[in-house]
Amino acid sequence: MSIFVIAEIGINHNGDLSIAKDLIDVAVSAGCDAVKFQKRDIDVVYGSDFLSQPRESPWGTTQRDQKEAIEFSEEDFSFIDTYCKEKGIEWFLSCWDLKSQVLMRKFNTKYNKVASPMLTYTDLLQLIASEKKHTFISTGMSTYDDIDRAVEIFKANNCPFELMHAVSTYPLRDEHANLRMIDTLKTKYSCNVGYSGHEVGLAISYAAAAMGITSLERHITLDRAMYGSDQSASIEPAGLRQLVGAVRKIELAMGDGVKRILQEEIPIAQKLRSHFDLESNH
């Protein structure tokens, strides 16, 4: 089974549909399988006290100014839905509240995503699992008890899922990646496991690809210097093309673990071993 590569646009579009369109184009040209966005009802997710706090941004001086500016509307997602269909790429979302999850149902996307912060939001998990779409469940900043409860909910609803190993720091330090958790999650939960990475660079994602992950998610950006909290942990277009190309090579190179002599090896063996074969006959 080929690794399902997800280009996480998230909020790196900064509320600009033209940037979102460019990022979708980048994902398509790189050969990604899907792009992913995020959706929040900011009043529900953050609350009025937080939203009234000061925050300098290109859009104003409060948290509300910033959060509202980078949040796509239902109409914006209608454009994205149409554009992704034109481009032949899947798209889906991680919703951060119940209202958003219900609102986004109208687009009938093929997949769902549970973001790491939402792993402990039981009501949201129940709602997502009730839709019975294949769901990617990120496991950053969570305990085994948290993961146990999530897995129980999805199994009880007969909803297909896979876990994604993740560490929720932005950017992730190499020594914190703990990729052996991929095997741990596979063994403990007897399910497919992907990797959602927030590191700088590509090496860790290559290693994850060689460990038998079934999905790979990385944040993408047009420029890591752009405004936004996720930009520095994201991959620029050239890096994304390099990543997908390398992942596909790694998949091919892993093989099946069965020892065999290739037809192409036989003439080489005959040539390189002929001297030893002659000597052994004397």
| Digit-coded pLDDT (tens) for 144-200 | 999 999 999 999 999 999 999 999 998 999 999 999 999 999 999 999 999 999 999
pLDDT attached to residue 277: 62
CB atoms within 10 A of CB 123: 10
Domain boundaries, the chain: 4-280
Peptide bond into 171 cis (omega under 30): yes
- CA dist 216 and 196 (Å) reads 6
Confidence label for 86 from pLDDT (cuts 50, 70 and 90): very high
Nearest 5°: CA angle at 254, between 252 and 256?
100
What tens digit of pLDDT does each residue of 188-246 get?
999 999 999 999 999 999 999 999 999 999 999 999 999 988 898 899 999 999 999 99
- pLDDT of 278 higher than 60: no
CATH topology of domain 4-280: TIM Barrel (3.20.20)
Q: What is the pTM of this model?
A: 0.95
Sheet containing 90-95, strands listed edge to edge, beginning at the edge strand earlier in sequence: 90-95, 34-39, 4-10, 215-219, 193-197, 161-166, 134-138, 111-114
